[in-house]
Structure 1
């Protein structure tokens, strides 16, 4: 699994670099993404998470997307968990009917290990996507690598966090979706402990997306995520 995850990430990064030539025109936007996630055990190795995420973009002027994403998982070991989930994605349209997207997804989360004090995690996700404005199913794979570096001793400490996630479209549909490189998300910030085992992560997220006509859409995001662990 280490080799597969590494190859996927390297291919995503290579595609991102290839998709952003010097002559490409880049459009910029600013946004705020707020994520709330509740997670915990159901019974034995059965676990769950449920998240809600409003995304405010277009110069931080309005909510352009709302994600609702629950999943049920099975803890294969203390370091490896597999999930089956569903996502409802709502894109509000001013003066028209909202767009709705339904997703089924399968996910593998893996605590890879440590390199000195650096803690490394992997998240692999495969999505099947349907949308209200056209027929067909679009398929997409996502690979995220995440690293934490504690800034103080102990298990309940502030840590520096960074992550990179590559998105690759495997099949497009009549309503959209892509085949090949889709987008790259990078994040840098801090993880701050809350009461119990809960945490908050805050920082800067960069979303770089391929667009038609050799263009690149880049969104600069202030990202705040709260993880409530039951």
Structure 2
């Protein structure tokens, strides 16, 4: 029996090796600038611009512009309606353009000891310039924040995981079923007022054509300006 163990180990390696070879990797820099504040009463807003530099941090691979208006249903829950314009630059041809409508529910779940937990649920209706039809996708993110010092203005450790699931594809693409998962680890650093910077590592793992997996390793930097 023990003589079979090396053979089993080699067999497992031979099976795993092709799967590993089907995963493509890219290094990127994702930068996000977000302004948020109150319009009047319980009506709030946010607006963000997010350039993503990919292909080994060599060129602009995507640009997102995403504003939204929301209503605070309680101190912990806010419901948003938003729009996003997504631009994918193409070297030899017209840029790909995507229009999204999205609905978002943000819930400050509460604390587990000193650990702060937040949930963000988003539903996206997507149209793209290179084909007809609407693609429908849901996103669920759980965010965890742990203060590393006492007080309101303190450095905190951050972690988040977000899963993407497609409900409807379109002529231009989109998926049904699992789309991608994003994980983030980093730090939240306070700025004057209530603004903050978040910096860390983001991993994006998604399905690609031909039973392949595409993985992005991104340095992520986000500025939140709270008015």
- How far the C-alpha of 1:211 sits from its partner, in A, is 1.2
User: C-alpha distance in 2, partners of 1:228/1:165?
Assistant: 23
Residue among 61, 65, 68 paired with 1:64: 61
Partner of 2:148: 151
| Aligned residue-pair number | 210
- Greater relative CO, 1 or 2 (CA 8 Å, sep 6+): 1
User: C-alpha distance in 1, partners of 2:55/2:175?
Assistant: 23
In structure 2, runs of 5+ residues without a counterpart are 1-14
User: C-alpha distance in 2, partners of 1:112/1:88?
Assistant: 30
User: C-alpha distance in 1, partners of 2:85/2:222?
Assistant: 19
Map residues 128-207 of structure 1 onto 2, 5 A cutoff: 128-207=125-204
Deviations 1:45-87 (Å, cap 9, x if unpaired)? 0000000000000000000100000000000111100000000
- How far the C-alpha of 1:213 sits from its partner, in A, is 2.1
- How far the C-alpha of 1:169 sits from its partner, in A, is 0.5
Cα-Cα RMSD: 0.9
Partner of 1:79: 76
User: C-alpha distance in 1, partners of 2:28/2:75?
Assistant: 35
In structure 1, runs of 5+ residues without a counterpart are 1-20
User: C-alpha distance in 1, partners of 2:41/2:91?
Assistant: 46
- How far the C-alpha of 1:95 sits from its partner, in A, is 1.8
Counterpart of 1:33 in 2: which secondary structure?
Answer: strand
User: C-alpha distance in 2, partners of 1:104/1:211?
Assistant: 24
Deviations 1:180-203 (Å, cap 9, x if unpaired)? 000000000000001100000000
User: C-alpha distance in 1, partners of 2:174/2:220?
Assistant: 25
- State TM-score, norm by structure 2: 0.91
User: C-alpha distance in 2, partners of 1:192/1:98?
Assistant: 35
Confirm or deny that 1:208 pairs with 2:205.
yes
Deviations 1:107-156 (Å, cap 9, x if unpaired)? 00000010000000000000000000000000000000000000000011
- How far the C-alpha of 1:227 sits from its partner, in A, is 0.2
Max Rg structure: 2
- State TM-score, norm by structure 1: 0.90
